[in-house]
């Protein structure tokens, strides 16, 4: 299995990278150590000392460097060894790989490919995650399954009725509502409106609805692995399909996904809202409900991963809802092939 490398991936939430503390992560099978320098800027290096290959994440931060916990070699933000205890000169070639990093949208992003191609403008747009007019609650789940299975799941709206009946599923007949799939460049959009339905339990807790609601699910996948959902519901027949959402609640459900290995995944999730910004009770409902909802998916996907490993290359049967997942995989495979062909030609 190959990964798209010349792109940005979420390494961690900004709040999880504490000053003075190295953080170990595996990203696209590569061990990485993340840390903040004396100015608080994020740094990412391969997680090994070039001397005896002990992970640098087992060392400590000394201002502008990370110090190996074995023999005290120090490495700066460029990956260069700048100090060896007990000797005045650093041996030639003493360095480790440094990765481009950027802090944006409350996340630390890393570029695992060709450093010369890294452009911060290519980071997926998630402005509600650091806009003062919005507040978000979120977290990180370590999932023991292929990251593509999670994207398949997020682009499949019909599974909600069956897997999430205790959280975000409303009326069972939602599964019968057709979806619209649109390709926009290298992005996929999936849209569905459900008019005159029962509010899902989690939404009803955030804002009590006395009658039927009009509900929307507007999903966008951005390569390689970011999925955002414009979701919500409003009192029925109050104009939500025409743009007036004032009689309801609207949120962005964010799924910022990073492959750890071929069969494990860093799953960063967040609900962002622009209502009741300071209401901790609402934040608590969304945090608990969100985690419960996404863990319902993770349990299924981890079991699916085991089943796929057992059956090997046996074919699968596709149904109508698989249109979006099939398109996303085709786009991703094409980009990976193009990247590999360019590298081979150089």
Bridge pairing between strands 213-222 and 226-235: antiparallel
CA–CA gap between residue 106 and residue 298 (Å, rounded) = 24
Bridge partners for 215 per DSSP = 194, 233
Q: In what order do the strands lie in the sheet with 135-143?
A: 135-143, 265-273, 248-259, 226-235, 213-222, 187-197, 180-184
Give, for all 346 residues of the chain, the pLDDT tens digit: 899 999 999 999 999 999 999 999 999 999 999 999 999 999 999 999 999 999 999 999 998 999 999 999 999 999 999 999 999 999 999 999 999 999 999 999 999 999 999 999 999 999 999 999 999 999 999 999 999 999 999 998 788 777 877 766 556 677 778 889 999 999 999 999 989 988 877 777 778 888 899 999 999 999 999 999 999 889 999 999 999 998 988 889 999 999 999 999 999 999 999 888 888 988 998 888 889 999 999 999 999 999 999 998 788 888 888 999 999 999 999 999 999 999 999 8
> CATH for 128-337?
3.90.380.10
Residues 6 or more apart whose CB falls under 8 angstroms from that of 80 comprise: 90, 94, 95
9-122: what CATH class? mainly beta
CA–CA gap between residue 100 and residue 4 (Å, rounded) = 16
- Identical fold between 9-122 and 128-337: no
CA–CA gap between residue 258 and residue 76 (Å, rounded) = 26
Q: Which two tokens stand for residue 100?
A: 């481009």
Q: Where are the domains of the chain?
A: 9-122, 128-337
Question: Do you know the residue count of the chain?
Answer: 346
CA–CA gap between residue 290 and residue 201 (Å, rounded) = 12
Give the H or E element holding residue 151: helix 147-154
The CA-atom distances, in angstroms, between 272 and each of 15, 199, 206, 327 are: 16, 19, 13, 27
Question: Where do we find the tokens 């507007």?
Answer: 218
pTM for the whole structure: 0.93
């Amino acid at each position: 299995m190959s990964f798209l490398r010349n792109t940005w991936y979420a390494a961690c939430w900004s709040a999880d990278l504490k000053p003075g503390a190295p953080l170990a992560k595996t990203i696209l099978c590569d061990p990485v150590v993340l840390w903040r320098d004396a100015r608080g800027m994020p740094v990412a290096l391969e997680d090994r000392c070039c001397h005896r290959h002990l992970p640098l994440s087992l060392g400590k931060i000394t201002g502008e460097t990370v110090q190996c916990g074995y023999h005290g070699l120090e490495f700066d933000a460029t990956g260069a060894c700048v100090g060896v205890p007990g000797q005045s000169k650093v041996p030639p070639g003493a360095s480790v790989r440094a990765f481009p990093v950027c802090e944006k949208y409350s996340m630390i992003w890393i570029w695992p490919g060709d450093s010369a191609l890294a452009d911060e403008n290519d980071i997926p747009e998630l402005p509600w995650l650091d806009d003062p007019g919005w507040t978000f609650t979120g977290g990180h789940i370590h999932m023991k399954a292929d990251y593509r299975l999670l994207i398949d799941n997020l682009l499949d709206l019909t599974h909600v009725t069956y897997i999430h009946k205790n959280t975000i599923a409303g009326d069972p007949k939602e599964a019968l509502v057709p979806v619209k799939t649109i390709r926009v460049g290298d992005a996929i959009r999936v849209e569905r409106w459900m008019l005159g339905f029962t509010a899902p339990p989690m939404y009803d807790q955030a804002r009590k609805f006395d009658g039927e609601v009009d509900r929307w699910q507007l999903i966008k996948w951005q390569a390689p692995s970011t999925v955002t959902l414009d979701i919500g519901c409003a009192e029925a027949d109050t104009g939500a399909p025409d743009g007036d959402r004032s009689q309801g609640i609207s949120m962005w459900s964010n799924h910022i996904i990073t492959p750890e290995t071929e069969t494990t995944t860093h799953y960063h999730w967040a609900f962002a809202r622009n209502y009741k910004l300071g209401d901790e009770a609402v934040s608590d409902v969304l945090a608990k409900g969100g985690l419960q909802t996404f863990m319902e998916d993770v349990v299924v996907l981890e079991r699916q991963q085991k089943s796929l490993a057992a059956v090997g290359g046996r074919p699968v049967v596709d149904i109508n809802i698989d249109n979006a997942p099939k398109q996303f995989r085709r786009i991703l495979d094409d980009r990976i092939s193009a990247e590999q062909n360019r590298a081979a030609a150089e």
